[in-house]
A = this chain, B = another copy of it.
């Protein structure tokens, strides 16, 4: 069974650096919760930390009423100018400590919602220019903070989300190789990786390989879904651009029996956010449906024999609505 959540971005104002008021009128937290629930196919949404709702009891009651779960607890690492120069790697020890504490608070919050994990997207932990940073020295800040967090409580999972750039031109945790290296080096069972399909695509990766190899080492904790044109984090409607790569990622997830959360992370600045999200959800189920149709053992046999053109043919014939 698919565990699928979405954030509230489709109902937010979607401002950017050119349009500071946003491309639409955003709605509030509670109304967003309602609108998300109108989407067919979701079974959860994440929580920010600090908690935006009035109380934990309120959250529990609201989620229970919908039969929903919390998938992600997301500490605020990016919304304030104070951590514009970094979170876990901030050179200012006070700000860094504040962020570490916020992550611990997030872990405590996640512990209240079994099955959820804490998102480690280190938005500003990067750099912009040649000569800006002493890489080896700054790297220690990352490793030390991750160790401290992983040890804080072993019953909550920490999910490191890699991304090459934005809002910095370079982020340290930029691809699945680095994320996996960090996890392997630090060796905590509760430290793993989020594969965001869009981040994977614009890092030049094949997302199916990313989930396969992180999963092989038991580090695939969470999957984010959206799409882009391979040069930026466009956060487009899921499945709208990369059909074959997305299908393959779902195929690999199925074969590895992935049962974690998938989180829709789209940012539809223009047009109807509700429709954009519903179309994204529908495509999640569509890809899962096609995967069921594919002849897995036949494909596996062809892969072992390196018969690529035959594989492409058989996958096409099961996926596309054409007798040809």
The complex places the Cα of A293 from the Cα of B129 at a distance, in Å, of 20
Interface size on A, residues (CB 8 A): 115
From residue 288 to 312 of chain A, which have CB atoms closer than 8 A to chain B?
289-290, 293, 299-300, 303-312
From residue 13 to 72 of chain A, which have CB atoms closer than 8 A to chain B?
14-25
Shortest Cβ distance from residue A149 to the other chain B in the assembled complex, whole angstroms: 20
Number of copies of this chain that the complex holds? 4
Let me know if A169 is at the binding interface, CB within 8 A.
yes
Let me know if A152 is at the binding interface, CB within 8 A.
no
Shortest Cβ distance from residue A66 to the other chain B in the assembled complex, whole angstroms: 22
From residue 233 to 270 of chain A, which have CB atoms closer than 8 A to chain B?
234, 236-237, 240-241, 243-245, 247-248, 251-252, 256, 267-270
Q: Is B79 touching A276 in the complex (CB atoms < 8 A)?
A: no
Q: Is B135 touching A279 in the complex (CB atoms < 8 A)?
A: no
Q: Is B269 touching A167 in the complex (CB atoms < 8 A)?
A: yes
Minimal Cβ-Cβ distance residue in B for A173:
B177
Q: Is B19 touching A131 in the complex (CB atoms < 8 A)?
A: no
- Tell which of A102-110, A112-120, A153-161, A315-323 binds the partner: A315-323
From residue 141 to 179 of chain A, which have CB atoms closer than 8 A to chain B?
164-167, 169-170, 172, 174-179
Q: Is B279 touching A134 in the complex (CB atoms < 8 A)?
A: no
Let me know if A94 is at the binding interface, CB within 8 A.
no
Contacts of A172 in B (CB 8 A): 209
Contacts of A270 in B (CB 8 A): 84-85, 128, 308
List, sorted by A's number, 6 A–B pairs whose CB atoms are closer than 8 Å: A129-B308, A130-B206, A134-B300, A166-B232, A240-B312, A276-B309
- Known A-B contacts: A175-B178, A177-B178. Give 8 more (CB < 8 A): A16-B167, A19-B79, A84-B270, A136-B212, A176-B178, A237-B309, A289-B323, A319-B321
Interface positions of A (Cβ within 8 A of B) = 14-25, 78-81, 84-85, 91, 123, 128-136, 139, 164-167, 169-170, 172, 174-181, 184-185, 203-206, 208-209, 212-213, 215-217, 228-232, 234, 236-237, 240-241, 243-245, 247-248, 251-252, 256, 267-272, 275-276, 278-279, 282-283, 285-286, 289-290, 293, 299-300, 303-313, 315-316, 318-324
